[in-house]
């Protein structure tokens, strides 16, 4: 594997729950709890998990759009959790985000040209002429044609709008792109086109991706490695093929059981997820998954398993393997 680009250690985000007339803090939502992982240069790390498990919170914390409660984020050997606003701006040039809903993330009153120029203005890149040239070039790169520059977001289809969102993220020539469910809002037929575009751009610009999704089917194709989150924690992390062919954590097995497999010869032990996702404001003691796990043992109810490397590059947090 190549060098690390981003190293996340013991990252936490606890959102306060307030109540009463004086808005006193009465509890916390543990959206992200002790998350540790590394992203290597040039790879795509997929992050999957059910709704509410902390994927978007993680993505936003990496850019410090949400301030972490605790933990460390090292980007290119620099700790970024304690950087000032000014210092952070330089880092943000190298890390950009693509959002799920391109319509909500694009200013409806600005032309595409203005939307794409803005990151360059913010970072003081180029003269007016040079910026304009870069905008027109980038529109071609994402397959939109520069004649679209004077149009507004509502004049595009969903797939085209996501291309604009991707173009905007690329304007500063970042090293890392955090894509938070970038194709979830699109028609299935358009999803493949946008995924292919992301793959082409990765090769062309030498990008590293963190690709967030709730659907294991979507991330498999694009990811080199995949991490599975449950209630704010990473429960399994492995090379994509390994994770799909020999998952270890009962939660991963259950998620995979829900992905339809077109091969009728393929026999899978089906493990269905029963029960609801517990509240992150009151996560179960011990292993957070024990309340829904078909392999639950006594120790699972009392002791939290840590993420451990059980085979080379294959990490699992489960007492069955410890
Ligand atoms: N600003 C906030 N204040 C309080 N709680 C929040 C806030 N943002 C997120 N949460 C809570 O944190 C948890 C994780 O939310 P997050 O959006 O990260 O989940 P997610 O994995 O991205 O889910 P989805 O797949 O639905 O996008 C949820 O329980 C959510 O309600
Ligand atoms: Mg989300």
- What separation in Å is there between the alpha carbon of 48 and the centre of ligand 1? 14
CB 2 within 8 A of CB 45: no
For 82-138, write each residue's pLDDT tens digit.
999 999 999 999 999 999 887 788 999 999 999 999 999 999 999 999 999 999 999
pLDDT at res. 293: 93
pLDDT at 261: 60
Fold of 4-94+175-181+208-260+268-321: Rossmann fold (3.40.50)
Report the atom number in ligand 1 closest to the C-alpha of 53. 21
Nearest CA to ligand 1 atom 6: 15
Residue nearest to atom 29 of ligand 1 (CA): 52
Q: State if pTM tops 0.85.
A: yes
Ligand 1: residue of 55, 210, 233 to mutate (most ligand atoms within 8 A of CB) is 55
Integer angstrom CA distances of residue 317 from 51, 71, 292, 301, 302: 20, 19, 15, 14, 14
User: Pocket residues for ligand 1 (CB within 6 Å)?
Assistant: 15, 29, 31, 49, 51-57, 214, 280
pLDDT tens across 256-294, in order?
Answer: 887 766 555 655 566 678 788 899 999 999 999 999 999
Q: Answer yes or no: is pLDDT of 10 > 90.
A: yes
Average pLDDT value for the chain: 92
Residue among 245, 231, 201 nearest 317 (CA): 231
């Amino acid at each position: 594997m190549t060098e690390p680009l981003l190293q996340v250690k013991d990252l936490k985000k606890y959102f306060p729950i307030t109540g009463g007339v004086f808005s006193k803090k009465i509890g916390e939502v543990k959206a992200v709890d002790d998350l540790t992982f590394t992203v290597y240069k040039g790879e795509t790390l997929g992050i999957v998990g059910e709704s509410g498990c902390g994927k978007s919170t993680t993505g936003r914390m990496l850019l410090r759009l949400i301030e972490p409660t605790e933990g460390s984020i090292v980007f290119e050997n620099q700790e970024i959790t304690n950087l000032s606003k000014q210092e952070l701006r330089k880092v943000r040039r190298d890390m950009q985000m693509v959002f799920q809903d391109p319509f909500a993330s694009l200013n409806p009153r600005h032309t595409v040209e203005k939307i794409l120029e803005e990151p360059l203005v913010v970072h003081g890149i180029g003269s007016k002429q040079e910026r304009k040239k870069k905008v027109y070039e980038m529109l071609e790169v994402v397959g939109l044609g520069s004649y679209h520059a004077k149009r507004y977001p509502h004049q595009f289809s969903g797939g085209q709008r996501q291309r604009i969102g991707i173009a905007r993220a690329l304007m500063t020539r970042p090293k890392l792109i955090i894509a938070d469910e970038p194709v979830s809002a699109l028609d299935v037929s358009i999803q493949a086109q946008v995924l292919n575009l992301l793959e082409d751009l990765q090769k062309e610009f030498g990008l590293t991706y963190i690709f967030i999704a709730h659907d294991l089917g979507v991330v498999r194709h694009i990811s080199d490695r995949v991490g599975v989150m449950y209630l704010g924690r990473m429960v399994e992390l492995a090379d994509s093929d390994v994770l799909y062919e020999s998952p270890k954590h009962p939660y991963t097995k259950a998620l995979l059981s829900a992905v339809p497999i077109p091969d009728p010869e393929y026999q899978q032990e089906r493990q269905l997820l029963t029960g609801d996702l517990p509240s992150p404001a009151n996560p179960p003691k011990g292993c957070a998954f024990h309340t829904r796990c078909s392999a639950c043992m006594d120790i699972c109810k009392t002791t939290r398993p840590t993420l451990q490397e059980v085979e080379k590059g294959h990490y699992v947090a489960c007492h069955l393997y410890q």
